[in-house]
Amino acid sequence: MKEYETINEISGPLVYAEVDEPIGYDEIVEIETEDGRTLRGQVLESSDGLVAIQVFEGTSGIDLDASVRFLGETLKMPVTEDLLGRVMDGTGQPIDGGPEIVPESREDIIGAAINPYSREYPEEFIQTGVSAIDGMNTLVRGQKLPIFSASGLPHNELALQIARQASVPEEEEDGEDGSEFAVIFGAMGITQEEANEFMDDFERTGALERSVVFANLADDPAVERTVTPRLALTTAEYLAFEKDYHVLVILTDMTNYCEALREIGAAREEVPGRRGYPGYMYTDLATLYERAGRIEGREGSVTQLPILTMPGDDDTHPIPDLTGYITEGQIYVDRDLNSQGVQPPVNVLPSLSRLMDDGIGEGLTRGDHGDVADQMYAAYAEGEDLRDLVNIVGREALSDRDNKYLDFADDFETEFIDQGFDTNRELDDTLDIGWDLLSQLPKEELNRIDEELIKEYYDASEEVEATAD
């Protein structure tokens, strides 16, 4: 291992150094400054005689006399089951004052792609206890389902609620199948306050002991953020595929991650893509999101719940847009619902879970699940449309049928969606509330529900009402 004192340019987060031996792409670098600090970085570009180094901790304090050491290997994450319960900074160094981590193995943080042939299609339901998700946008093990939110909205509360309540049905039936639930929390550029909120909740609910936390805070160097999610996912893959855990990875906030990518791109004077983000952002995000999944013959699974805040509430912004094209659906947190006090303020209409259809139904959740969700979607969409009309002509001008749909839309929000951040609803309850709401509509309107199911549930709930009268 050779040491160089050959830095000839420092620009933003990048350092250029002259070398006289070949240096591998992505290799890890240590830079020692005059005042004795050691900074870590990664090779971004390697050409004969010159390398570009991206310094994780930022370049402040580095001068042309700083010494550069190439470690000859790419960045590795030391992994072990003992990581559960630990809190690390954004580069994977423990900050909780606990014992030193004795790794069982060291894994390359740039994970290899899962061979599509070796994957197992995700179709096992995760109950989150949130009706808007369980009922209408079901999450399954091995899925990547982002939360599309914006500044000032309670996405963190929703993420915490899911982290707290998430359970898999089989876990309840027999806890002895060896698969346990673990939560990995990767924070990128969140504020100290937000971080405290998460940590307090983890500690209060005892969730910390089944969690691993990686925290890159708002005042930590931005470049470090490009590493944090990869450390989190490498740990997740290890726990899932080597130790049979069902791992839920919460990544927040992906917007900060993308900002860091843009910063590096700009420092390297790359040709920018849309809105200045690098042209390879799709590929880069895919190498994170695609690390969710299940593998044939392994017990565990990696499920991802990335959170991103849409700049200007605009879902055509490159960050939510590219994310939406990679992930298997999205959950929208809605400003209007939030100001109405609906908790959690999930707007189900633009939300979607692509893996829902295969993860629900007879034998998985309940036979009527799909039809009920479809019908509620259609009815709520119709009610929403009518609200615009009401603003112009008033309720009296609408037909009886239209008024029923309007009532349905209102009740849907107040009874189905609004459950509070502390209520954990069983799926059966969620669907029963759904039937209750649907029974406000005339039977002929339920054109998406199988006739047999209407007989079983609609008529049943009508009878109950009749006796109650």
Partner 1 sequence: MSQATQQDAETGVIESVSGPVVTAQDLDARMNDVVYVGDEGLMGEVIEIEGNVTTIQVYEETSGVGPGEPVENTGEPLSVDLGPGILDAIYDGTQRPLDVLEDKMNSAFLDRGVDAPGIDLDKEWEFQPEVEAGDEVSAGDVVGIVEETVTIDHKVMVPPDYEGGEVVSVESGDHTVTETVVELDNGEEISMHQEWPVRTPRPAVEKQTPTKPLISGQRVLDGLFPIAKGGTAAIPGPFGSGKTVTQHQLAKWADADIVVYVGCGERGNEMTEVIEDFPELDDPKTGNPLMARTCLIANTSNMPVAARESCIYTGITIAEFFRDMGYDVALMADSTSRWAEAMREISSRLEEMPGEEGYPAYLSARLSQFYERAGYFENVNGTEGSVSVIGAVSPPGGDFSEPVTQNTLRIVKTFWALDADLAERRHFPSINWNESYSLYREQLDPWFEENVTEDWAEIRQWAIDVLDEEDELQEIVQLVGKDALPEDQQLTLEIARYLREGYLQQDAFHPTDTFCPPEKTYAILTAIKTYNDEAFDALDAGVPVEDLVSLDSTPQINRIGVQEDYEEYVEELKDDITEELRGMY
At CA 258, angle to CA 17 and CA 74, rounded to 5? Answer: 45
Return the residue of 1, 444, 466, 468 that touches partner 1, per CB under 8 A: 444
CA-atom Rg of the chain in angstroms: 25
Cis geometry, peptide bond prior to residue 358 (ω within 30 degrees of 0): no
Q: How far apart are CA 353 and CA 360, in angstroms?
A: 11
Return the residue of 135, 221, 306, 329 that touches partner 1, per CB under 8 A: 329
Return the residue of 64, 71, 95, 397 that touches partner 1, per CB under 8 A: 397
Instruction: Tell me which residues in 109-148 interact with partner 1 (CB under 8 A).
Output: 110-122, 142-143
Instruction: Tell me which residues in 351-380 interact with partner 1 (CB under 8 A).
Output: 352, 354-355, 357-358, 370, 374, 377-378
Kind of pairing between the strands at 246-252 and 181-190: parallel
Return the residue of 30, 32, 104, 108 that touches partner 1, per CB under 8 A: 108
Return the residue of 33, 67, 74, 167 that touches partner 1, per CB under 8 A: 74
Min dist CB 75 to partner 1, Å, is: 9
Dihedral angle sign, alpha carbons of residues 200, 82, 249, 44: positive
Pair of tokens at residue 340:
């109405």
Q: How far apart are CA 239 and CA 232, in angstroms?
A: 11
Nearer to partner 1, 52 or 212 (CB): 52
Q: Where are the alpha helices (DSSP H) in 222-355?
A: 228-241, 254-267, 281-289, 318-326, 335-339
Q: How far apart are CA 93 and CA 428, in angstroms?
A: 43
Return the residue of 104, 321, 411, 429 that touches partner 1, per CB under 8 A: 321
Instruction: Tell me which residues in 143-172 interact with partner 1 (CB under 8 A).
Output: 143
DSSP class of residue 222? Answer: G
Residue 393 in contact with partner 1, rule: CB under 8 A:
yes
Instruction: Tell me which residues in 221-250 interact with partner 1 (CB under 8 A).
Output: 241
Nearer to partner 1, 218 or 381 (CB): 381
Nearer to partner 1, 22 or 98 (CB): 22
Q: How far apart are CA 9 and CA 364, in angstroms?
A: 59
Residue 318 in contact with partner 1, rule: CB under 8 A:
yes
Min dist CB 257 to partner 1, Å, is: 16
Instruction: Tell me which residues in 23-62 interact with partner 1 (CB under 8 A).
Output: 23-27, 44-48
CB neighbours of residue 301 within 10 Å: 27
Nearer to partner 1, 89 or 371 (CB): 371
Nearest to 92 by CA among 260, 243, 183, 212: 212
Instruction: Tell me which residues in 445-464 interact with partner 1 (CB under 8 A).
Output: 447-448
At CA 346, angle to CA 380 and CA 183, rounded to 5? Answer: 140
Pair of tokens at residue 174:
């027999």
| Part in contact with partner 1 (CB under 8 A); list of ranges 188-196, 198-206, 284-292, 453-461 | 284-292
Return the residue of 279, 362, 414, 464 that touches partner 1, per CB under 8 A: 279
